[in-house]
Amino acid sequence: MVQVREQKTQAVENAIRLLEQNPGIADLKPCAGGGAAGDCIAVRPSPDAPRSADAQTLRVPKFANLPSIERKVALLIGIGEYEGNIPKLASPVKDVQEIGKLYREQLGYEVRMLPNADKATIVRELNRLILESKANDSITVMYAGHGHVVEKTQRGYWIPAKASADDPTQWISNQDIAKALENMPAKQIMLVSDSCYSGTLAREAKIEKAEVMPDPQQVLARRSVTVLSSGGDEPVPDQGRDGHSVFAWHFMQQLKNVKDVSNGVNLFEQLSEDVKADIPQIPQYGAGLASGHQRGGDYLFEVRHYE
């Protein structure tokens, strides 16, 4: 509802003023050590660095359409509980729970759920992906919750749980999100953002269907960093379907339709048409050039099963 958006905008007025004065106040520094800390961004590990202890044992799928993908991890963040005057959101936690079920049961991902997580927890898990992943892995990071863009600077932010409406240092900047993706060694990375103004994450460059390599193995040879967002720079309407956001509901339908392998751009095209048919909202699909996306690449949704 419009009332929710207006309430959030009014609640964060003080934080916006601080971000206008100092756009980098929420940004994190690179981690000095090798751990997955929650107050810095881990540096990209060297290619010959071993997997961490809890990631060394790779599960062998019973069936995989793309067996050259070694490991699949989905980090799903849903924020509905907020403090102070920031309005609560009903659907994000339910959205990521249901999407996580599809990622686990149909697509064969290891799913990590972060319901109502604060900044430190989210950053710690992003760092864990940086330190654990290898080139032949596939990673999805999804965020559902409040977001905001500062009009004066055009910089966007996620607003996690426990974040203050007055102190933006506990917000997560798009710059840090892009840096985290850049530092992940995996060649298959997708960021899914279902929040207001999420289009700021996808506006670097559009992924042109004609440029995507036709052979999945050719795609996998490239580094693909893609961003699927629920809308452009406009606020996303709050009404939903079956207790889910409109975007999340249609995203789930498209995931169910993956039978073997689907390019992200193909899934996006149908998803976009379905969302636009429901509400005046235009999803976006872009290439994360700053995070290392290579021309001809795309994210691949692949069905696989384990015992």
Q: What is the pLDDT of residue 279?
A: 83
> b or e along 208-235 (b: 16 or more beta carbons within 10 Å of the residue's beta carbon)?
eeeebbeebeebbebbbbbbbbbbbbeb
CA distances from 70 to 135, 203, 297 (A): 9, 30, 18
Domain carrying residue 106: 2-28+67-305
Q: Is residue 283 part of a domain?
A: yes
Nearest to 96 by CA among 174, 176, 192: 192
Question: pLDDT tens digits, residue range 78-130?
Answer: 999 998 888 899 889 999 999 999 999 999 999 999 999 999 999 999 999 99
Q: What is the pLDDT of residue 197?
A: 74
Q: Is residue 124 part of a domain?
A: yes
Q: Is residue 190 part of a domain?
A: yes
Q: Is residue 166 part of a domain?
A: yes
How many domains does the chain contain in total?
1
CATH number at residue 160: 3.40.50.1460
142-156, 174-188, 191-205: range with lowest mean pLDDT: 191-205
Q: Is residue 51 part of a domain?
A: no
Q: What is the pLDDT of residue 2?
A: 52
- At residue 45, does pLDDT exceed 80? yes
Q: Is residue 50 part of a domain?
A: no
